[in-house]
Structure 1
Amino acid sequence: MPLPTLRAVLASDAVRAAKPEVLSGADRLDRPVRWVHVSEVREVTGLLTGGELLLSTGLAMRGGGKDAAAYVADLVEAGATGLIVEVGDAFPEVPLAALRVARERRFPVIALRRKTRFVEITEQVHRAIVAEQYERVDFARRVHERFTALSLEGAGAQAIVEATAELAGSSVVLEDLSRHVVAYAAVGRPASGLLKDWEKRSRLVAPTGTAGLTGPEGWMVTPVGLQQRWGRLVVVNPASDQARLAMVLERAAQALELGRMAESDRFGIAHQAQGGFLSELADGRIRDDAEADARARSLGLPPAAPYVALVVRSAPRGTSPTDPVAVHRRARGLLERVAQAARTVRVPVLLGSLGPAEVAVLLAAGGRPEDTALEAFADALHVQVLRQPDLDAVAVGAGEPAATLLTAGASLRHARHVAEVAHALPPGRRRPFFRARDVRLRGLVALLHDDPRVQAFAESELDHLLVHEATHDDGMLALLRQYLAVGGNKTELARVSHRSRPALYKRLHRLEQILEVDLDDPDSRLALGVALMVHDQRR
C-alpha cells in the first residue's frame, strides 16, 4: 500500500465536509503525503524535510502580499506537498500574490470553505501513513520468510522465480550471462509472448550493478551472483512501487545464489563411505599407494588392476523435481541402478554420488580387457536406467586405464567432464562410453560453457556484433561464420558467398569496425572462433 496522495486526502471525509477548493496545482494532486503539520508559524520551512502537507488558518500570510508570496515560495523550496488553508471571516481569501507564486510553481494550494477540526484531518492521514509503514514492514517480513523457507528447502531456480513472480505480481525471468532463459514465470500473459525474441530484447538492456529500471522496455533488473555474477533477474512489467520490487528482487537473487552454492556441493559425502574415498582420490588428498590400496580393500574393492574411473550422468525425464525429498530419491535411484549394472556383469566397483544426476565409479577390470568390461557395464547400465521412470538415457565418461588406484582416481575429474559433454551430444552420436579423445575442442567448450568466466569471455568478444545483429539484422554474424569457416581466406570467402571482392572487402571492413579487431590477426580469428562455439553451445 503506497503513501496516501494529496488527492486521497481531499477525498477523505474530514476534508470533503469542509468543501475543499483547489486554487492551484491541480495537476500535482497525486503527490504522496509523507506527514501532516498544523502550523501558523511564518518560519516553518526550517522544520520541514519534504513531503509534508501543511494545514493553516492563514495566519502566516496576513502580513501582506509580499510576505504571503514569500511564505508560499519557501514551502515550495522546502519540498512541501501542498498547503490547505481554512478561509472564513478572519481570513476570507488566499492573497493573490501567494496564488500567483503557487500557480507559477505548480504548487497545490487548497481552500476549505467551511470550518473543520484539523485534528480529524491529521488523524485520518496519519492513520493511513502508519498503516502503510506497517504494511511495508509486514511485507518485508513475509518476503524474508518466503525466501528463507525456499533456501532451507533447497528449492531450485524455477521455484524461486515462481515465488518472485507471485510477490512481484508480474512476470519474472532468470537469464544467464549469454542472455539465455534459465527459468521463468509468466503472469497475466502467455509464455510465448514473454519469451519472444528474448535474447535480442535482452541485449538492448545494459547490465546494472544494483536493482533498477533500465532498457527500452523499462525492465526492472538485478544481477545474480555474489563473488562472480552469473545471471540476471528481470521483471518485465514492473509495478509502480519500485522500492518494494527492488527488495523482492534482491532477496530472490540471494536465494538463487544460495541454491546454486548448495547444488554445487556433492551429495552424500558425509553418509557414503565409498563416495568419500572417491572424493579424496579425485582431489589428490590421498598421496600414498599403500593407503589407497588399504582403503579400497576395506571398502570391498579387490586388488584387480587395471582400474578405470567413470562418471555416469543422467538428466531427469520431464521437469526436474524441486522437492528435496524427490531430489534425494532420484539420486539414490540412479546410484542403485549403477550398482545393479555392476552386479549384473560381475564387475567390482566403488560408487559415490556426485549429485542428483551423476555417479562416480571406480571399476576394477581385473584380467579382462578394459574396453570389454566398460562396454558390458555400460550396456547393462542402459538397460537398468530404462527401468527408472524419472531418468533419461545415461552418458558414461571414462578415464584412461591405470595400474594404480591413485592414478585412476585422479582421472575422475576428467571423466566427469567427458560425461557432461557426452550427455549433451545428439542421440545419433552417442556410444556406450566416451573418453577425452572422443570429444576434442568442441567437447571442451561444451564442458565449460556454463562457467561464468567462459560466458564473460564470449560476451566480451561478440557483444558488439550481437547487439548490432539485434538492431540491424544485416547478416554480419553469418559473414563472420563464413570467414572463420574458410580460415580467413578472402578469395575462398568471395567464392562461397557469391560476392565480388570490392563488396566483400567493404563488408569485412565494416565487420572489423563492429568487432573492433583485426580479422587478419590469427589470434583474433582463434578467439572469435572459440567465442562462437560458446555462443552456439549456449543456444
Structure 2
Amino acid sequence: MFGQGNPYDSQYFSQVSRGHPAKYRDFNTFPYTLYVSESAEPYPSVRDVLGIAELAAGAPELVTGETGLDRRVRWAHVVAGSEAPALLDGGELVLTTGAGWPAAGLSALMRTLVDTGPAAIVFELGTHFDETPPELAAACVTSGVPLIVLHRVVRFVQITQRVHQRVLAAQNEALEARAEVHAMLTELGLNRSPVDYVVDRIAATLGAPVVLEDAGHRVVAWSGGDARVLEHWAGSARRAPGRDPELPQGATRVPVEAQGTRWGLLTALAGPPHPAGRETVLELGAFALALARLADADGDTWLDLGSKRLFNAALSGRFTGERELASQLAAAGLPVAGRALMSATLTGVGDFGAHESLEAAILQTALRRAVAPEGSVVLAPAEQGVGAPRTLLALMSFPREDPRLGEILTAQQHPLATRLSRELAMMLPETTPTGWRAHLSIGVAAAGPRALIASLERIAQAGTSPAAPPALAPAAHPRVTVQLAEERPLAYLIRGLAGAPEVQEFAEGLLAPLFAHDRGSGPGHTGDLTLVLAAYLKHPTNRSLAAQRARLSRSVFYQRIALIEELTGADLADGETIAALTVALLARGEF
C-alpha cells in the first residue's frame, strides 16, 4: 500500500545469527533501509555469566573491571598461544589458562588481546600460572575489560556450553519479541492507524515515555507519561541549529527517515530493558512512521497533529500547572520564557469560491508568514459544527520589543493585520469573490501561559458568535477585518466569568422567557427573539440601524421589541436593564 510489495512482510526484516547481528540491509523490492543496531542485541551480561554454577565452582575473583560487569557477552571462546587474538571478533567471554604465552613480549600480547574488545577475560590459575600476570592485569585496567581469576581448576567446556545456551536463549527470545513487535506494527500499518496511536503503542511496548519530534524538533506526539517529560524539549539549548538535541539521560533515539530524507526523531526516555532491544523496537517503530509519512506527501498530518493535541490539552485543562503548560507550548515550537504572548482567531467569512481546504491552507500560510520571522505561532482549527464559520485558533509568541506590540490607535492599524493583508494579497486566487474576508480577532497580551489560554478561550467564543459579524474592511485592508479584545472589555470580562454557576443562573433567569418563546412553534414563534435582542443591544439608541442588522423591516422589528418587553417585563429604554441583558447574552454566548 505504500510502495512495491508489502514493506511489512517478514522478508524485509533481518534475522540475527550467532554473534553476527545484521547492520544494514538494502531491500531489492522496497527502496528503504532498515537499521538494526548491534548494541540492541539482548545478550547476557558479564554479571549474568558470573552466576553460572560451572563458573562459580572455580572460586572466581573479580580482579579489575567492576564498572564493566554490564558488558554483553556475545559468545564464549577458549584461547591459547600467541595467535589467540586473531581468533576473536569482540564481545566474547575469553577463557584461558595462559598456555603458550611467551615469557618475552607478554605486555604487547596482552594489549593486543584486550584491543580485540572482549566482554571479559576469565584466567584460570594453577595450570601454567600460579598468580595473575601483571601485564594482563595492567592491560585490563587500561581498557576497562573485567578480569576474572579462577582459583580452582574447572572444565572450560562446561562453561562455554552454559554461556552458549544463555546466548542462544536470549537471541531466540529477542527474535520472538521482534516478531511480536513486527506483527503489531504490521497491523497498525495495514489499518492506517494515526501517528499518535502508533506512538502510544510503541510507548506501551517499551514501558517508557516516547516522544516523536519533527525535523524542526517540535513535538508531534508523545505518550507514556505526563507533560513533564516534555521539559527537555522546551529548553532553548536543545534548538541549536545544525545538530540534533542532546539525549536525556538514559534515553534512546533513532531517526525517522527513508530514501535519504529525515522527517524527525523518535526518542524513548529511560525505561526497563526489552527482550528485542529498546533500540530495535524504536527502529521498527520509526520505520512504520516513515512509511506513514511517505503516504502523507504534504506532511499535513504531522503538522496538524502536534497543534491539535496542544490545543486540546490546553483548552481542556490537561495540565497540572504553569510550568507544565509552558513545557507543552515550548515543545510545540512556541517559546514562552521572556516573550510576549498573544492569542487570536482567524476566520474566513463569506463565499471563498473554492474548496474549504484551500481557504484553510491560505489562511494558515498567510498568518504564519505574517508572524514570521520574529515571532512563532501554532495553529489548529476550531471545533465546529456543520455550517459554522471556518475558524483557526492561534497562539503567538513575539520578542518583547517587537513593533507589533506597540501602541495601536485603531484595530485596523494593527501591524499584524497589515502584514496579514499583504500576505493574503499575494496568495489569494484572482477568482476569489470580492465579498470574502478574513476576520482577525486578537486577544489581550498575556503575561503567562495560563493567561494566554484564558485569552484564547474568550476570543474564540467571540470569534464564532453569530451575533457579532465583523465590520466592513477599510480600503487599507480590503480583505481583512480586525477586532481587538481591548475594544470590547465587557465582553472579554464576562466571557471569562461565564462558567461560574452564579453567572449562568443570572443569565438563565433573565432570558428564560425568550428561550421558551424561541423554542415554540406556530404564529408568532419565529425563534428569533434572542437575535433581535442582540441586535437592539448593539445599537440601543438607533433602532433603525438595529433593525437593519437584524435584517427585519422597522415595523416587524418594533413588534419584536414590544414582544420582548412583554415577555420579560423589562423596559428596554432603561440603562440598567440594557446592561443586565447585555451581560446575560454575553454569558450565554449569544452576543
> When the two structures are superposed, what TM-score results if normalisation uses the length of structure 2?
0.44
Between Structure 1 and Structure 2, the one with more helix by share is 1
> When the two structures are superposed, what TM-score results if normalisation uses the length of structure 1?
0.48
